């Protein structure tokens, strides 16, 4: 990840922020706007960040994973379902229910990772197909179960969706969160904090540990790894499963941290944007996170503009149409992926099954 | 001569689909010796070594390490028993540094993190101890092959290898680098390391080996001492017939200019000037040999001529049409054939079947492509013909090219390039990794091409090859042609001096 990329990212984020500041400064002070934008950006970037980290683990080990979207969707559903079950059926308190939900989401992601590894590492099915299968499977299963369990007559919840046990509570980082105005940035929910921590951990694991060196070697030159006694299949399996678990945590964000409900297709392409973030971040954790923040900023723009709807000047009227702004993250994806800055170099053996 | 036998293979058999790669092979290695293994391309040398190294499993047969029966399930087991191997195609991760490559699989850690400092220190110590000069902190992809090879050797020593398998280590080395390697090998044997050394170069075998074993078609033909044999005998043992080691060729009768190069300047990968104002021409019916120690701009020169590398300044004329800076296809269509230096990177699509690689330059032209559709019949006919004519050892034309032995991969390229109607052949190290029989065949083909009126530009680091084939010889040094002479008027020694940078009096 070179500095030009980070510069480019900072530049785009600045532009996005400036638009909101320019529109809203009549009503609210710029510092407050920027702080609130930042806090939102960091929060909404969470599933993108985790999805991108999933991609980093998989692809650094040489397995392309376009099933991140499906992994997140399935995890969002099963995490939520588990939380509800624990809360309403087993009568547990909201907090343990939510944590149980998060665990279930991680497990779901991990299992789908295992499934992807079986297909692509052991059976050497084309990895794009494996990922596509996961995406289709996730849409089908979550949609089906959602209807069967909650909306069909005679189903367990008998046609009425029970109250979810809410969402994960905010956590304030001591001292930092107490700073006036800016402290808002350090007042987030747990999965968001976890995502940032995981970016740092992944960077460390990948570039400073034995595990990381071996992971990268099987993604770059699996035969070389094999000749020094590294078990290529094991490394690929393990990393795809780890990646799946991270995507699962990202899925938990949707139903256990962001809103307390599930809707079919609610991941809405975030898994693919996460993939784009990983590529733009040149397969590095910090790069991927930075790119995820750009998309997060675009979404934050959308959210924040709603507050200032009335004050949008007439010549910028198009910003009042919500879907115009809603398109921003997707447009940015396309623009950024056309490779405005530098070359993206994937791991050399990315996507290639290894044959002994 | 009753030294300890440190490694022994008994009755090793290994079958691949369609080929019996090893057929009841017996082989042993004594402590502190250099045991050379010779054999045709596809004879099964690499397969045998991969079995000894735990990379492949034998179908039957036994392996003994220091008198004890062993069963290696993966290279890890072999490494544990003190066996190291430098593979025919290097096993280094190009984006990793030298230390990272060396420690991979045997990492030193401190409190859970890689201890790069300790590894670098150990690497420096080893490289000092054995005279293997490598810088632990450079990225391997930036290193010339000669140094990469040292990295491979240090990698084995780092794992305390007592047995070192070197699979065609000299194929990619310049004569100087090869000399260096031999010095290192002797140094290692003096310290008790035992070495298995695979090569196709008979001269080398006779000078460095203590014993020589020859394989043919998966079987061991015999083991001899260097003092009781010579090049011709070894060649006959390998191929099973007499081999003419000297190329028979008549006088050249050059015609008009085919390739003209004027003041060519080309940059290398890092943007440094690699070719600095080179001018020459090649005429029909002659072979112009470019001699030079590797890394003096030959690679960049050839890449520029074939459209693979941008040209900084100067002109290239093919048949008096300017082709400067054109992409490869139009250049190929003017009648150029190219045998690239790095067969796996520029010459082949390894995952394609042999048949497809054999038509890779002209797949879109009849008879292969008719109205945009590939004609399988024509592809098949072409493939079978070339496999037969060029003696490409493959179970079928439809196996992935990656499954062929190194030398047979090279033959696929040579067959494709020489079988088209061409006016100019640019051959960069055309016989790298080939056995004597195949070299004889390809040299003959090149001369036949010449006599048919093809212009040949031959780039080779093998002085013998340059001397044997060329009508004129140009010597390249530091990106410039320092001398061009008629081949008949020059001696090996003189060429050697010019290659090392001595200025010739006459040009
Ligand atoms: N993985 C594989 N799958 C199928 N066939 C193989 C495989 N590896 C080797 N072979 C075949 O086994 C035979 C022996 O190959 P090997 O690589 O051992 O030859 P070699 O003696 O090392 O030749 P060279 O001098 O050209 O390197 C060849 O016919 C080759 O095509
Ligand atoms: Mg070989």
Is residue B358 within 8 Å of residue B386, measured between CB atoms?
A: yes
Q: Does any CB of chain B come closer than 8 Å to the CB of residue A124?
A: no
Mean pLDDT score, B205-222:
94
Residue A97's H or E segment, with its range, is helix A94-117
**β partners of residue B30:** B5
Could you tell me which residues come within 8 angstroms of residue B183 by beta carbon, excluding any fewer than 6 positions away? B131
Average pLDDT of the segment spanning A284-293: 94
Contact A228 B96 (CB under 8 A): no
The verdict on B105 touching A (C-beta cutoff 8 Å) is: yes
Rounded to the nearest angstrom, the distance between the alpha carbon of B29 and the centre of ligand 2 is 19
B41: helix, strand or coil: coil
- For chain B, give every domain's residue range: 5-239, 244-335+423-507, 346-420
Question: A36 or A138: whose pLDDT is higher?
Answer: A138
Q: Is residue A164's pLDDT more than 90?
A: no
Identify the pLDDT of residue A22. 87
Q: DSSP letter for B503, please.
A: P
| Nearest residue to B291 via CA among B470, B454, B456 | B470
Does the beta carbon of B114 lie under 8 angstroms from any beta carbon of chain A? yes
> A65-69, A339-343, B339-343: which has the minimum mean pLDDT?
A339-343
Cβ(B470) – ligand 1 distance below 6 Å: no
Helix (H, G, I), strand (E, B) or coil at B30: strand
Residue A234 has a pLDDT of 97
- Report the 3 state secondary structure along B268-297: CCCCCEEEEEEEEEEECCCEEEEECCCCCC
Identical fold between B5-239 and B244-335+423-507: yes
Segment B228-233 mean pLDDT: 91
Most informative mutation of B17, B38, B44, B396 for ligand 1 (most atoms within 8 A of CB): B44
Select from B391, B403, B431, B433 the residue to mutate for testing ligand 1; criterion: most ligand atoms less than 8 Å from CB. Answer: B403
Alpha carbon of B86: minimum distance to chain A alpha carbons (Å): 10
Give CA–CA dist B273/B271, Å, rounded: 7
Choose among B465, B504, B450, B455: nearest CA to B481: B504
Whether the predicted pLDDT of A217 surpasses 50: yes
**Set of chain B residues whose Cβ sits within 8 Å of the Cβ of A234:** none
Among A102-116, A126-140, B431-445, B469-483, the minimum mean pLDDT is found in B431-445
Q: Residue B1's pLDDT is what? A: 47
Count CB pairs under 8 A between chains A and B: 68
- Give the model's pLDDT for residue B39: 92
Residue B46, ligand 1, Cβ within 6 A: yes
pLDDT confidence band for B141 (50 / 70 / 90) = confident
B170 against A131, higher pLDDT: A131
User: How much is the pLDDT for A315?
Assistant: 76
Nearest CA to ligand 1 atom 1: B403
| CB spacing of B91 vs A224 below 8 angstroms | yes
Task: Give residue A159's pLDDT.
Answer: 63
Asked if residue B197 has pLDDT above 80, the reply is: yes
Give the tens place of pLDDT for each residue, A180-210. Answer: 878 888 889 999 999 999 999 999 999 999 9
Best residue of B46, B78, B91, B93 to probe chain A, by most A CBs closer than 10 Å: B93
Q: Which of A209, A221, A229 sits opposite B75 (nearest CB)?
A: A229
Residue A166 has pLDDT above 60, yes or no: yes
Ligand nearest to C-alpha B15: 1
Distance CA B235, CA B200 (A): 10
- CB proximity under 8 Å: A 210-239 to B: 210, 213-214, 216-217, 220-221, 223-231
Q: Whose CA is closest to atom 6 on ligand 1?
A: B403
Q: Considering only residues A341 and A48, tell me which one the structure prediction assigns the higher pLDDT.
A: A48
Q: What pLDDT was estimated at residue A188? A: 93
Contact state of A228 with B106 under an 8 Å Cβ cutoff: yes
Q: Which of A63-72, A99-108, B479-488 has the lowest mean pLDDT?
A: B479-488
Cβ within 8 Å of residue B234, ≥6 positions away: B38, B202, B205, B206, B212, B214, B224
Residue B392 has pLDDT above 70, yes or no: yes
Backbone angles phi, psi at B439, to 5 degrees: -60, -45
Judge residue A345's burial from the number of C-beta atoms within 10 Å of its C-beta, 0-12 exposed, 13-18 middle, 19 or more buried.
exposed
| Closest C-alpha residue for ligand 1 atom 16 | B44
pLDDT at A339: 61
For B5-239, CATH gives: 3.40.50.300
Whether cis (ω within 30° of 0) applies to the bond prior to A118 is no
Task: Report how far apart, in Å, the C-alpha atoms of B322 and of each of A143, B261, B339 are.
Answer: 64, 10, 22
Least distant ligand from the CA of A356 = 1
Check B91 against A216: CB less than 8 A apart: no
Q: What is the pLDDT of residue A134?
A: 97
A4 with A280: CB under 8 angstroms? no
Q: Is the pLDDT of residue B391 over 60?
A: yes
pLDDT for the residue numbered B46: 94
- Cα of A226 vs centre of ligand 1, distance in Å, is 18
Question: The domain B244-335+423-507: what is its CATH number?
Answer: 3.40.50.300
Lowest mean pLDDT among A20-29, A316-325, B481-490: A316-325
Max intra-chain CA distance, chain A? 67
Tokens 């507050």 — which residue? Answer: A307
Return the closest-CA partner of residue A81 out of A12, A26, A155, A31: A155
Ranking A61-75, A84-98, A206-220 by mean pLDDT, the lowest is A84-98
Q: Residue B505: pLDDT above 70?
A: no
Asked whether residue A43 carries a pLDDT value surpassing 90, the answer given is yes
Q: Of the ranges A175-179, B53-57, B197-201, B454-458, which one carries the lowest mean pLDDT score?
A: A175-179
Q: Which residue has the higher pLDDT, A182 or B35?
A: B35
Instruction: State in Å: Cα B216 to ligand 2 middle.
Output: 13
Tell me the C-alpha distance between A150 and A157, whole Å: 5
pLDDT at B144: 77
Q: Which ligand is nearest to the CA of B437?
A: 1
pLDDT of B397 strictly over 90? yes
Tens of pLDDT along B417-429? 999 899 999 999 9
The neighbour count for residue B332, using CB atoms within 10 Å, is 19
Mean pLDDT calculated for residue range B363-371: 91
What is the arithmetic mean of pLDDT over A62-69?
97
The answer to which of A270-279, A329-338, B214-223, B233-242 has the lowest mean pLDDT is A329-338
CA of B417 to the centre of ligand 2 (A): 23
B16 lines ligand 1 (CB under 6 A): yes
ipTM tops the 0.95 cut: no
Q: Name the closest-CA residue to atom 12, ligand 1.
A: B21
- Nearest Cα residue to atom 20 of ligand 1: B42
pLDDT score of B456:
96
Q: Please classify residue B472 by burial: count the beta carbons closer than 10 Å to its beta carbon, then call 0-12 exposed, 13-18 middle and 19+ buried.
A: buried
pLDDT given for residue B507 in this prediction? 44
The mean pLDDT value for B296-310 works out to 93
Q: Output the pLDDT for position B416.
A: 95
Contact B16, B192 (CB under 8 A): no
């Amino acid at each position: 990840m070179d500095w030009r990329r980070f510069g480019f990212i900072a530049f785009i984020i600045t532009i996005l922020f400036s638009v909101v500041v320019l529109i809203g400064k009549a009503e609210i002070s710029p510092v407050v706007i920027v702080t609130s934008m930042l806090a939102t950006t960091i929060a909404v970037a969470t599933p993108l960040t985790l999805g991108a980290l999933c991609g980093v683990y998989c692809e650094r080990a040489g397995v392309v994973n376009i099933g991140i979207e499906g992994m997140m969707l399935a995890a969002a559903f099963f995490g939520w379902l588990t939380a509800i079950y624990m809360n309403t059926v087993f009568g547990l308190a909201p907090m343990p229910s939510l944590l149980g939900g998060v665990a279930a989401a991680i497990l779901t992601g991990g299992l789908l990772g295992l499934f992807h590894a079986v297909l692509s590492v052991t059976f050497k099915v084309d990895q794009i197909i494996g990922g596509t299968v996961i995406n289709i499977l996730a849409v089908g299963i979550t949609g089906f179960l959602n209807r069967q369990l909650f909306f069909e007559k005679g189903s367990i919840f008998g046609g009425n969706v029970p109250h979810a046990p809410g969402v994960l509570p905010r956590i304030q980082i001591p001292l930092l969160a107490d700073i006036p105005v800016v402290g808002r940035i350090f007042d987030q929910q747990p999965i968001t904090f976890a995502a940032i921590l995981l970016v740092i951990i992944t960077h460390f694991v990948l570039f400073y540990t034995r595990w990381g060196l071996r992971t990268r070697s099987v993604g770059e030159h699996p035969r070389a790894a094999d000749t020094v006694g590294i078990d290529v299949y094991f490394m690929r399996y393990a990393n795809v499963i780890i990646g799946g678990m991270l995507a699962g945590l990202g899925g938990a964000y949707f139903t256990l941290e962001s809103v307390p409900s599930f809707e079919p297709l609610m991941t809405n392409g975030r898994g693919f944007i996460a993939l784009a973030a990983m590529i733009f971040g040149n397969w590095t954790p910090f790069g991927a996170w930075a790119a995820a923040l750009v998309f997060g900023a675009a979404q934050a723009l959308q959210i924040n503009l709603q507050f200032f709807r009335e004050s949008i000047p007439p010549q910028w009227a198009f910003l009042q149409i919500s879907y115009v702004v809603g398109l921003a993250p997707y447009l940015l994806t396309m623009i950024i992926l056309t490779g405005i800055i530098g070359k993206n170099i994937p791991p050399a053996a990315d996507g290639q099954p290894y044959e002994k | 001569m009753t030294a300890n036998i440190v490694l022994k293979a008994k009755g090793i058999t290994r079958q691949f689909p369609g080929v019996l790669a090893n057929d009841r092979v017996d082989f042993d290695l004594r402590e502190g010796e250099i045991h050379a293994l010779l054999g045709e391309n596809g004879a099964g040398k690499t397969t045998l070594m991969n079995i000894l190294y735990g990379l492949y499993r034998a179908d039957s047969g036994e392996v003994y390490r220091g008198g004890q029966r062993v069963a290696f399930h993966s290279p890890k087991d072999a490494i544990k028993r003190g066996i190291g191997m430098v593979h025919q195609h290097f096993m280094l991760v190009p984006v990793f540094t030298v230390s990272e490559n060396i420690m991979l699989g045997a990492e030193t850690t401190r409190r859970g993190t890689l201890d790069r400092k300790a590894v670098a220190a150990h690497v420096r110590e080893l490289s000092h101890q054995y005279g293997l000069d490598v810088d632990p902190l450079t990225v391997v992809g930036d290193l010339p092959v000669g140094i990469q090879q040292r990295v491979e050797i240090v990698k084995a020593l780092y794992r305390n290898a007592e047995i070192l398998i070197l699979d065609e280590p000299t194929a990619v080395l310049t004569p100087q680098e090869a000399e260096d390697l031999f010095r290192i090998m002797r140094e290692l044997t003096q310290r008790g390391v035992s070495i298995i050394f695979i090569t196709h170069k008979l001269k080398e075998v006779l000078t460095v080996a203590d014993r020589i074993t020859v394989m043919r078609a998966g079987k061991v033909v015999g083991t001899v001492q260097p003092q009781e044999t010579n090049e011709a005998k070894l060649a006959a043992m390998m191929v099973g017939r007499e081999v003419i080691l000297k190329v028979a060729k008549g006088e050249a009768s050059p015609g008009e200019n085919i390739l003209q190069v004027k003041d060519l300047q080309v940059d290398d990968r890092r943007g440094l000037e690699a070719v600095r104002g080179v001018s020459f021409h090649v005429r029909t019916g002659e072979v112009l040999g470019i001699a030079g120690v590797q890394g003096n701009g030959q690679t960049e020169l050839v890449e520029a001529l074939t459209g693979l590398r941008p040209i900084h300044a100067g002109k290239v004329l093919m048949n008096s049409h300017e082709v400067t800076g054109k992409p490869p296809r139009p250049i190929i269509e003017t009648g150029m054939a190219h045998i690239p230096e790095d067969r796996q990177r520029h010459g082949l699509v390894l995952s394609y079947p042999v048949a497809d690689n054999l038509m890779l330059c002209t797949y879109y032209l009849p008879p292969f492509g008719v109205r945009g559709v590939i004609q399988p019949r024509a592809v098949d006919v072409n493939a079978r013909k070339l496999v037969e004519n060029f003696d490409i050892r493959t179970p079928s034309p439809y196996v992935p090219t990656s499954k062929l032995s190194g030398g047979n991969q090279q033959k696929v390229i040579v067959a494709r390039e020489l079988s088209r109607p061409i006016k100019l052949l640019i051959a960069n190290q055309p016989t790298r990794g080939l056995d004597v029989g195949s070299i004889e065949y390809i040299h003959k083909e090149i001369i036949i091409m010449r006599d048919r009126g093809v212009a040949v530009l031959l780039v080779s680091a093998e002085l013998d090859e340059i001397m044997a084939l060329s009508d004129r010889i140009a010597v390249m040094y530091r990106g410039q042609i320092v001398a061009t002479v008629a081949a008949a008027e020059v001696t090996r020694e003189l060429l050697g001096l010019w290659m090392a940078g001595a200025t010739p009096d006459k040009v």
